[in-house]
Structure 1
């Protein structure tokens, strides 16, 4: 899978493409660590082009969500496709992850939580 990271002002934008697996989550972990070091408050993950998610990835995402919150970083997922949303719902992670429909909503969330 491809993971593309861009920084714009006080946000890291991650675009995930293909199967989201443990290796990709290790990249997410690094992005969160970098955000903390650079005093960046928001990490936004575009999930529109994720085709599948592994169980290992879901465990790591849960862990990283908790870690991000503890360090004062907003970790948001947006453009989550129907297939990925069903997996998140089945695992109960929908109650833990911050998921919004669009980049606009993610941006508004960040503005409210700055």
Structure 2
């Protein structure tokens, strides 16, 4: 999978595509750690192009979400495609992850929670 990250002011914008596995999630976890060090408050992950997710990756995503909350980072997932949403719903992560429909909604959420 490919993760493309870009920082703009106090936001990290991440675009994920392809297969999401443990190595990708570790890379995403490192981005969140870097965001903490740089005092970035928002990490927005575009999930539109994710076509597969491993079980280990889901465990790491859960851990990342908890870590982000503890460190004061808004971690939001947007443009979650139907296939990925089904996996999230089946695993119960829908009650833990912050998922919004669009980048605009993610931005508005971050603006309200700054």
How high is the TM-score relative to the length of structure 2? 0.99
Q: How many residues align?
A: 114
Residue ranges of structure 2 left out of the alignment (5+ in a row) = none
Is 1:6 equivalent to 2:21 in the alignment? no
Matched with 2:34 is: 34
Deviation at 1:59, TM superposition (A): 0.2
Deviation at 1:61, TM superposition (A): 0.2
Is 1:56 equivalent to 2:64 in the alignment? no
Deviation at 1:77, TM superposition (A): 0.1
Is 1:82 equivalent to 2:108 in the alignment? no
Q: Secondary structure at the match of 2:5?
A: strand
How high is the TM-score relative to the length of structure 1? 0.99
Matched with 2:103 is: 103
Runs of 4+ in 1 over 3 A off after TM superposition: none
Cα separation, 2, equivalents of 1:48 and 1:18:
10
Deviation at 1:67, TM superposition (A): 0.2
Deviation at 1:111, TM superposition (A): 0.4
Residue ranges of structure 1 left out of the alignment (5+ in a row) = none
